[in-house]
Amino acid sequence: MTGRLGREFSFTDKHFSRIRKFVTAHTGIVLTDAKKDMVYGRLSKRIRNQFDGSFDAFCNAVDEGDKAEQEYLVNAITTNLTAFFRENHHFEYLRDKLIPELLRQKQQSRKIRIWSAGCSTGEEPYSLAMTLREAIPGIDNWDVKILATDLDANVVQHGQDGVYTRERISGLDESRQRRWFQLGKGENEGLVKVKPELQQLIHFKRLNLLHDWPMKGPFDVIFCRNVVIYFDKQTQSELFERYANILTPGGHLFIGHSESLYKVSERFAALGHTVYRQLPK
């Protein structure tokens, strides 16, 4: 039976407030009132199957430290929308300006480090890997690594597996599809898998950006796109300060099309089109 507002289970403002308090504290994501229906929609299956329809019981489990439920909640709330070569101008910038610059600067060490922070299901780091392999002649004589991290364990696993529906790569030109993806056959018909040459460049890892980072860096480039939109300004400021500190001097930061460092961080110079260069302190 469906109750008030057509909802199957009782979901009060108090439930919503408990859930959003946990989500903000653990992910930095601020859930506005407008997100109440979304939260209900994303959790209702779990509430039905595991909690006999009781949001109370679910909220208690989360607040009492039940790790499985906390993880379920975080995974359910994070928005994982992504695509191969999303905001393609960033990859063009990388190919045309940044990679030639890095190849000149790094003749000695031959070491390039890139971080895709908030990598979702892997399309972003794989797009980086394709760009690097296409633009760096003799890349196997260089020490190039991409770190790909996300808070959501499911998407990190998906990225690591590197398996996508064929439709996900339909926007890529034919030569790229052929060069970088294997077509699934038989029971894998309709699926593609990224080739090992791309996977070799990437290390996938689960990481909450608000927690301590196990890696020291430095990174030459950080992609953190469409991640901080749901964070409040203070959280954004702190995160960008940490990015500035873990980048090489003059390293580059790429953010999402609707994001900005205006009044958030003074540690970067804007180069246009949401590309930034780190400034000395």
Ligand X SMILES: C[S@@+](CC[C@H](N)C(=O)[O-])C[C@H]1O[C@@H](n2cnc3c(N)ncnc32)[C@H](O)[C@@H]1O
Binding-site ranges for ligand X (CB under 6 A):
27-29, 78-82, 86, 118, 120, 124, 150-152, 155, 208-210, 225-227, 256
CB of 166 to ligand X, least distance (A): 19
The one catalytic residue in 20, 86, 113, 150 is 150
The torsion angles phi and psi of 67, rounded to 5 degrees, stand at: -60, -40
CB of 20 to ligand X, least distance (A): 14
Closest CB to ligand X among 181 and 230?
230
CB of 17 to ligand X, least distance (A): 20
Q: Which residues pair with 112 in a beta bridge?
A: 144
Closest CB to ligand X among 153 and 270?
153
Edge-to-edge strands of the sheet including 268-272? 202-206, 143-150, 111-117, 219-224, 247-255, 275-278, 268-272
Closest CB to ligand X among 9 and 123?
123
Closest CB to ligand X among 145 and 205?
205
- 4: annotated active-site residue: no
* Token representation of residue 192: 């593609």
Q: Report the sign of the C-alpha dihedral through residues 129, 135, 138, 139, in that order.
A: negative
The one catalytic residue in 7, 42, 46, 277 is 42
Closest CB to ligand X among 86 and 267?
86
Contact 79, 151 (CB under 8 A): no
DSSP type of residue 181: E
DSSP type of residue 96: I
DSSP type of residue 156: H
CB of 53 to ligand X, least distance (A): 27
CB of 57 to ligand X, least distance (A): 25
Q: Report the sign of the C-alpha dihedral through residues 175, 177, 181, 184, in that order.
A: negative
* Token representation of residue 10: 């009782």
Residues 249 and 280: their CA atoms lie apart, in Å, by 7
* Token representation of residue 165: 């529906």
What is the SS3 assignment for 269?
strand
Which amino acids are annotated catalytic?
Answer: 42, 150
